Amino acid sequence: MNSDQASPEDLAALRAALGVDDGGESALGWEAVRAFEAEHGVVLPEPYRTFVAEVSDGSFQGPPEYGLVGLAESAKGQDPGKPFPLTELWVWEEDDGGYEDPDAVIEQVVHHGSLNLGTDGCGMDWHLVVTGPQRGHLWLVTGEGALPHGAEFGSTAAEAGFAGWVKHWSEGNDWFEAE
């Protein structure tokens, strides 16, 4: 996963997987992406950054189940400039994670350092981490806990990051079935 540079191969795969073939008409453009980044004090991870600037600002096709929301929508209720607090799975429904104030940390997981890319329904939201050690990784945040997506976390055989997440979805794979 390279969160600092988008490869042409990744962008082509994203375009194909998400059914975007409008020549960039649905993209935000670089000026809008840079304005968003300046407003929120972040630099979006690649290839998501180039995707929204040059390919498309969201997709009704998904992932997730109910579509990939646009950049402005993904930031509603979020404070992406504050660091995402987790580095490993935490099922807060089962334990307090060793935190003095677990409710405060849960609030940070839901609202800090990430963009909410959309939902699979039933309170299962996909977050792209934009700030902190997990920058560039996708996390599934639910009412029960938060789980990172990618082979390096043991949850799936998929590549980590936005491109790996979309590729995994487009191939019809289950989200969390490690091979």
Residue-wise pLDDT tens digits, 16-39? 888 887 777 889 999 999 999 999
The answer to whether residue 110 sits within a structural domain is: yes
> Structural domain tally of the chain?
1
User: Looking at residue 83, what is its pLDDT?
Assistant: 96
| Domain extent for 140 | 8-170
Find out whether 77 and 111 touch, Cβ atoms under 8 Å: yes
Q: Is-contact 114 128, C-beta < 8 A?
A: yes
- Is pTM, for the whole model, over 0.75? yes
- Whether residue 178 lies inside any domain: the answer is no
Say whether the peptide bond before residue 63 is cis (omega within 30 degrees of 0).
yes
The Cα-based distances of 11 to 8, 15, 55, 110, 163 in angstroms read 5, 6, 8, 28, 8
Encoding tokens for residue 7?
Answer: 């490869």
Confidence band of 2 (pLDDT split at 50, 70, 90): confident
For residue 168, give the nearest of 147, 148, 150, 142 by alpha carbon. Answer: 150
Distance from the first to the final alpha carbon of the chain: 19
The first and second tokens of residue 116, run together, are 């909410």
Q: How confident is the model at residue 126 (pLDDT cuts 50, 70, 90)?
A: very high
H-state helical runs in 8-77:
8-17, 30-40, 48-50, 71-74
What CATH number does residue 71 fall under?
3.40.1580
At residue 4, the pLDDT reads 78
Which residue would you say has higher pLDDT here, 116 or 61? 116
**If DSSP states are collapsed to H, E and C, what string results for 101-154?**
CHHHHHHHHHHECEEEEEECCCCCEEEEECCCCCCCCEEEECCCCEEEECHHHC
Which residues are within 8 A (CB) of 107 and not within 5 positions of it... i.e. 6 or more apart? Answer: none
For residue 175, being part of any structural domain is answered with no
- What is the model's pLDDT at position 178? 52
In a domain, 135, yes or no: yes
Whether residue 3 lies inside any domain: the answer is no
